[in-house]
Amino acid sequence: MKNTRVRPTGRERTFSEDELIVTKTDPRGSITYANDVFLRMSALHEEDALGQPHNLIRHPDMPRAVFKLLWDTLKDRREMFAYVVNLAADGAHYWVFAHVTPSYDDTGRVVGYHSNRRVPSRSAVTAADDLYRVLRAAESRHDRPQDAVAAGHAALQQILAERNRTYDELVWDLSAGGAR
């Protein structure tokens, strides 16, 4: 799997509501632990996952701006919830409702990140996909990655302002089947 470009097949994979996908990473985002549900959903063997950057499963339909927001939030030592579509090694995709938190050592230093992912509701996936379509469109107008991220971030901020919501409030609205 390493250094290979996986092409999305359009086939969606799901997991059951009583399962959790769990990973841990080091401070740079390299995977240090992956549970069996993660390995099954991502179609990876443990030896192909451990030590790899977590963006190994990044789906091209995920807006870059959401990952910028994730890393900015984690850098501020805060947790983040997000809807994410991931790309498995076999080209299938799967949606998750992710909760990512910093992990600390005894002195309070960030030593990595812990992520639990649950099955999202179909209505939340539809709403998140609609939102991400707008962000991707803004990003696609730019060739330089940093310009694309800035455009996606600006589009997200505009949507939040129009709805008078914070990002966290928007995520919880989607979770409750609320506004798109």
In DSSP notation, 90-130 reads TS-EEEEEEEEEEEE-TTS-EEEEEEEEEPPPHHHHHHHHH
- The two counts, helices (H) then strands (E), for the chain are 6, 5
What is the Cβ-side half-sphere exposure of residue 66, based on CA atoms within 13 angstroms? 26
| 1-16 tens-digit pLDDT | 444 689 999 999 999 9
Specify the pTM: 0.92
Region of 174 (left: φ > 0; alpha: ψ -120 to 50; beta: rest) is alpha
Amino acid symbol at 9:
T
Can you give the length of the chain in residues?
Answer: 180
Class of domain 21-175 as given by CATH: alpha beta
Three-state secondary structure call for residue 106: coil
| 57-113 tens-digit pLDDT | 999 999 999 999 999 999 999 999 999 999 999 999 999 999 999 999 999 999 999
**Which residue ranges make up each domain of the chain?**
21-175
Question: What confidence tier does 180 reach under pLDDT thresholds 50, 70, 90?
Answer: very low
